[in-house]
Structure 1
Amino acid sequence: MSDRASYELISVADVLLPIDPPQPRPAPRAAPVLAPRRLPAWGILFGPLVLVLVWEAASQTGLLSPRLLAAPSTAVTSGFAMLQAGTLQEHFLASAQRAWLGLGIGVAIGLVLALASGLTRLGEASIDGVVQVKRAIPTLALIPLAILWLGIGEVMKIALIATSVLVPVYINTHAALRGIDLRFVELARSVGLGRAEFLRRVALPGALPGFFTGLRLAVTACWTALVVLEQINTTEGIGYLMNRARDYGQTDVIVVGLAVYAVLGLASDMAVRALERRALSWRKALGA
């Protein structure tokens, strides 16, 4: 066999040799989905701390006159002096008593009205419209009538705080009740649950998320109403302290009063959020 024939056979043999099939490339791994981390309980303090630092810097550099607004450091000094004298504690207890009493009454009334309106047609027809009218009327607009009806004492202040509180509790709880899945209602009927059992096992658990949302708004409304009401014919309370400080141009005392309101509102909101996480531990949701 000639060299040329041998070369041709070798070439044909090379072509006919089995070729290894290409190996499939491994599929790229999908990037892990990173769920956003839940903000720790103290994370809500970040914004207020930044605001205080900017405020202090503006006061120390002279950009903010003490006649307009005292520096946070000055307010802290004045607050410690008032604590040592016992003045701040006395006015704080008076304000807290008004706020918590009005809050408790308003939350109870709002919850009862929401259950009556959300679970019965007659209740919705007779209650919902009245609450919506109250929602459209600011609490401050009711002060003249409240003074005529209840006088200018403590009863009037507590009543107005309660009316401010019941609206957000009612609206959010009512919305949660109306949003309960009908499948749960049908299941309750099929197993023969009575009214009391249906209320305890279906209605109240379904309304809890909305109730806590309304409670957080109610806490804010409580302290907001108190700020105004304590400046009407009072001789004790944080609002009275601020009103008297205004007459003497004591901006540091006014800042102390505002700080007390802010701390109370923030602490109340954090307490409600902690209670909500505990009561709704069964709910799995983003950021829960």
Structure 2
Amino acid sequence: MTPILTVTLNPTVDLSIHADQVAAERKLRCSRPDTDPGGGGLNVSRAISALGGHSTAFVALGGPTGDKVMHLLAEAGIGLSPFPAPGETRQSLTVTDQRTGEQYRFVMPGPEWTPRDVTKVLDRIGKAAPENGIVVLSGSQPPGVPDDFPARLATRIARTRARFFLDTSGKALHRLLEAGAKPVDVLRMDDLEAEELAGRALPERRDSADFAQSLVTRGIARAVIVARGADGNVLATDSERWVAQAVPDAVISKVGAGDSFVAAFALARARGLSRPEALKWGSSAAAAAVMTPATDLCTLKDVRRLLRHCTLEEV
């Protein structure tokens, strides 16, 4: 199988708890916390492991919380390529109100990075990129990391023989379009990000496919994926336009759906499957992830079951 390296600059220890009711100015009695290593790239590695695959997690770690992340990854059997973070690794908290089922997510910013830290990590990722492998960058960037980091990493990865899969948003996504960087192999975004980037509504699958294909034509990526939530996932290249849709049994928590998609898609490609088949795997994994609570990700059993009923159509 093609080796996979996931990249997480802003990891976290995810704490997930339940309270009978979340209300202001009350002492809230909570359940014992569930603890998971978090951050986009680490979630991708965790989901790859859940699907029976293997990846190496390149992750910036610092302080006792960073040690906790390292311990949790070791327990999960995930290979680790650590990089010294410039400060203490952050924590995040998800609180579920058991009365309403609503979730409250508290996300800390992470340590401040300097330009020197950024230069060092770009070099280290370039050296860690597996030859003829896949590098996945997913998740938020810590304070101090410039918006053009994904674009700079795309150029750095282009010097290797690895393929670059990118799941990003916000200013970093805009800078990718402006920077004139080397094209990434796969660029993924959700429907709201796509509409914000396009500057217009994308109400139909055809609209998403048109926009995704325009980014390919501009040389931003070789393939662009737009996640349309319950309406499926659209993929476009210069010559292909597909949509895959998998329907979950129920929606319990949307946390980790995007990372599960990226994990299943990357793993399918690493195993030699075509883009349309990988799109079906990704869609099924995203649907499986929303069926699990809190920070839990997809399960192989659910993904395989949903995959049998996942639709795939040309757009």
> TM-score band (shorter)?
under 0.3
- Bigger relative contact order (CA 8 A; separation at least 6): 1
**Which structure has the highest strand share of the two?**
2
User: Which is greater in Rg?
Assistant: 1
**Which structure has the highest helix share of the two?**
1
